[in-house]
Structure 1
Amino acid sequence: MFLHIVFLLSLLSSTSHATVQDFCVADLKGADTPSGYPCKPPANVTSDDFVYTGLAEAANVTNIINAAVTPAFVAQFPGLNGLDLSAARLDLGPGGVIPLHTHPGANELLIVLQGHILAGFISSGNIVYQKVLKKGELMVFPQGLLHFQIAVGKRKALAFPVFSSAFPGLQILDFALFASNFSTPLVTQTTFLDPAIVKKLKGVLGGSG
């Protein structure tokens, strides 16, 4: 028994002085790799690296979708590096819409702070799950599934999405189809849309082909 106690005490003594890496604040001057940015030297880390104020102000929503998304990803908020976490601010003017899109690298949790937002996603079984969310309500969007948000009524809306990755990724369906060089014949063939509609939408969103 005495030997067991001595062994445990020696083990605790050897591990208590081991270095634990609590965080890895991104050195944005380094290369962005699939595993993240390199760490800033600990001596150069300050409290400001763990605080981000960029979501405090409303964004300009004067655009085709009457909405704006302000990111707080690792490129804006270096303290997120390696934590598998990020956020954004979602400003919606009256009737504003975030078109169908997907985040291939993260789940999303939407927190509504102002107004009413019709939000929903489409499952891989082609079932639509949607709900009008009010202040204080949340909705989750599973990773990789198409989803959307629309401001309901004549009021502006505000929400904060939180992601399960510092690099959630983004692909907007309408932009992929109509703001790219995906040719009109191929879009027509793969979506069954009328060529005239495809060309019209490409004209609106700036696509070619």
Structure 2
Amino acid sequence: MIDDGWLADTRTSYDTVAESYADLLRDALVDAPYERAVLGLFAELAGGGPVADVGCGPGRLTAYLSGLGVDAFGIDLSPAMVDVARREHPGLRFEVGSMTDLALADASVGGVLAWFSLIHVPDAEVPGVLAHFHRVLRPGGVALLGFHVGDGSRLKTEGYGGHPMHVHVHRRPAERVAGWLADAGFTVEAQLLHRPDEIRHGAFLYARRP
């Protein structure tokens, strides 16, 4: 039996921090040229969409992609995050949902974005999530995954303005994530390491459904 207690913990944690999270990260892309470039390439590869921003939080990246001309919509586990997203970006579509049971039709989107939203998913659950990404993408569609690089997990008990949280943050080698993508049927096309000389660094992987 699958233990989904981590899902409930993640939902409650991000419901708690939704407003402060949105305030802290609202303008984060302004001083983030590499992230903007990564998203710009994804927008080009996705061909206008539609693109599912899975784990969209308050919708800041959904809105950024929309500004690039992409038909983007957001899905998040946290109802409070979705409420913030709908309030701040009323012209866009946001839904409550889980990447572990993605309620999208087969071959219905041109792109899937998972921007540091896989970091709370246990290793055992990631292959199932990536299988959903593969299922909902059209042939030729592109997935972009952003995640923390490393090996190991830590329990996050506070964040985003000092509010209580209870989520595990998983760090993974890029090679492990690339292997999971290949096992799910993707072709990994590019990998970018972000700030590799720093202790806390990240990676971005572009993968295509053949």
The question of a shared fold, defined as TM-score above 0.5 by the shorter chain, is answered with no
From the two aligned structures, give the one with the greater helix fraction.
Answer: 2
- Normalising by structure 2, report the TM-score: 0.26
Structure with bigger gyration radius? 1
TM-score normalised by structure 1 residue count: 0.26
